[in-house]
Chains A and B, each alone.
Chain A
Amino acid sequence: MIISVEHLAKVFTKDRREITALEDFNLEVQEGEFVCLLGPSGCGKTTVLRIVAGLENKTSGTVMIHGKEVGSFRPRVGMVFQEFALFPWRSAKKNVEFGLEVKGVPESERTAISTKYLDLVGLRGFEVAYPKELSGGMKQRVAIARALANEPEVLLMDEPFGSLDAQTRNLMQRELLRIWSTARKTVLFVTHSVDEAVYLADRIVIMTARPGKVREIIDVPLERPRDRTSREFISIRSKVLAELDEEFDKARAKELTRE
């Protein structure tokens, strides 16, 4: 078990009001698995990711990576953000090498590693390009290479294709699966797109509206590459969509009663 989350709870305090973002959230992820977290907005899926990444403290429960409690150590994770989060003053190569640089890896080794991963994400020849010279899809490729160059145990992706146009998004999904099958990483992927989740995931974790917990886990036993128009794909898609719609309605109802 590479990731194991048990009874995770997170309570935020905002304007002196306590907001329970997560409550009794449980999840186990196997080595090499591709898991999507899906849920209505505000259900705390990003919070799960940030806690696993060690970016945020949990309120209670346990989060372990390879049997070690997150918080007692800095987990070796790679994170990819929706906003790309590239350092604008660094070239593609230098962005990819950031983690190696802070670890003190010597320059020749850094170059070898960054070349390897820029190659893997299909950006050979763009080493010296700066983020502002790259398209959204290319920026996200750099961000993926940067996360992988650090040789993480887990790749955490927070709606990484959320700000891309539909075509680029589909292309990047295919590319991600190609990279995933080469790099053989465990991926925890947050999205609010049902289509994306069914296309990518081995398992889809559907979360409830706030406070977020696991509503249901749906297996996607389809061969890759998946055909979005196949009967099996569509049937899983409708099943996920039905569950999600229910949660979405609940979330809306809650929002309305609050006002």
Chain B
Amino acid sequence: MEPVVKRLRGVVVAHWKEIVLGAVSLVVFISAWWALHVYYANQGSVYAEYLPSPKDVWSTLVGLFERPDPYIRVPFSEHISASLERIAFGFVLALALAVPAGLLMARFKASHAVGRPIVELFRPIPPLAWVPIAIIAFGSFLGPVAIVFLGIFFPVLFTVMLGARSVEPTLIDAARTLGASRFAVFEKVIFPYTVPYLMTGIKVGLGIGWMCIVAAEMVSAKGGGLGYFILTMSEFGAYEEMYAGMVMIGVLSVLTTGVAGIFENFVYRRMGMK
């Protein structure tokens, strides 16, 4: 534990200005939210109900982990894990297809010619436009997974293509004179060169993934998930629960991005690039 504490202290010392400013920014935002709530409450406006105080939202959120909401009556953790599972599935599926597709499309004219029309046709369609048909076709679990897949696939595909296109030609020449086969060039030169680009794609994709999953879950009335939870709570007028669900998405998104960042650091360290 000792070195972890030491490292944390180091981070705090090095970045105390940013930490203070970040904290101030959060405090100002929450105060403004709170002030608006108090203002509506004093006026006796119904908006006070639509905008509960941050304190009530927080205690509702904490309470949700102790007992299920009185409407759906499913433990909150099950909603969370339902959403996380869908994201994980969609994410893995998108990576498994987008990385090889991006590498091939970037490096082979034929694959580019084959892939490009499909990509150009599908890219401008927002993933959310697929929600209704995806739910009908794939059901309440795989439907949202498909939406997450669509949301993550394109940013990963494009960043991987960009990375694979920008490989320094002399690196490939060097590998070839050292006896590397075509496959070895892909495996040992083009792919590692693309990794930093891939990491950017992953982080962008995760954010889009959260947007997609919530919207997709709002359409499907079965199978739980945070999107379903938020929509249902608003229908019952349980606004504190609704906001608690929204805050939870924010927290989870920060956590998944954080995990991606730690993973990125780990990979760069292993690759000697940090």
Partner-contacting stretch, out of B85-93, B180-188, B233-241, B253-261:
B180-188
B14 within 8 A of A: no
How many Å from the CB of B273 to the closest CB on chain A? 6
Asked if B272 and A85 sit within 8 Å, CB to CB, the answer is: no
Complex Cα distance A101/B181, Å? 12
Asked if B173 and A103 sit within 8 Å, CB to CB, the answer is: no
Asked if A91 and B272 sit within 8 Å, CB to CB, the answer is: yes
With beta carbons under 8 angstroms apart, the residue of B179, B181, B189 that contacts A150 is: B179
Complex Cα distance A143/B175, Å? 12
Partner-contacting stretch, out of A28-36, A75-83, A204-212:
A75-83
Complex Cα distance A76/B179, Å? 8
Q: Interface size for chain A: under 10, 10 to 19, 20 to 34, or 35 or more residues?
A: 20 to 34
CB within 8 Å for A81 and B181 given contacts A91-B272, A130-B272: no
Asked if B173 and A55 sit within 8 Å, CB to CB, the answer is: yes
Q: How many A-B residue pairs have CB under 8 A?
A: 69
Asked if A85 and B174 sit within 8 Å, CB to CB, the answer is: yes
A102 within 8 A of B: yes
Asked if B173 and A102 sit within 8 Å, CB to CB, the answer is: no
With beta carbons under 8 angstroms apart, the residue of A76, A85, A147 that contacts B171 is: A85
B176 within 8 A of A: yes
Asked if B272 and A79 sit within 8 Å, CB to CB, the answer is: no
B271 within 8 A of A: yes
B125 within 8 A of A: no
Complex Cα distance A91/B171, Å? 15
A190 within 8 A of B: no
CB within 8 Å for A89 and B273 given contacts A102-B184, A102-B188: yes
Write out the residue numbers on chain A whose beta carbons fall within 8 Å of the beta carbon of B272. Answer: 88-91, 130
B133 within 8 A of A: no
Write out the residue numbers on chain A whose beta carbons fall within 8 Å of the beta carbon of B192. Answer: 87, 89
A74 within 8 A of B: yes
Complex Cα distance A54/B168, Å? 18
CB within 8 Å for A85 and B179 given contacts A79-B173, A98-B188, A102-B188: no
A–B complex contacts, Cβ < 8 Å, 8 sampled: A55-B177, A79-B174, A86-B174, A88-B273, A89-B195, A99-B179, A130-B272, A156-B177
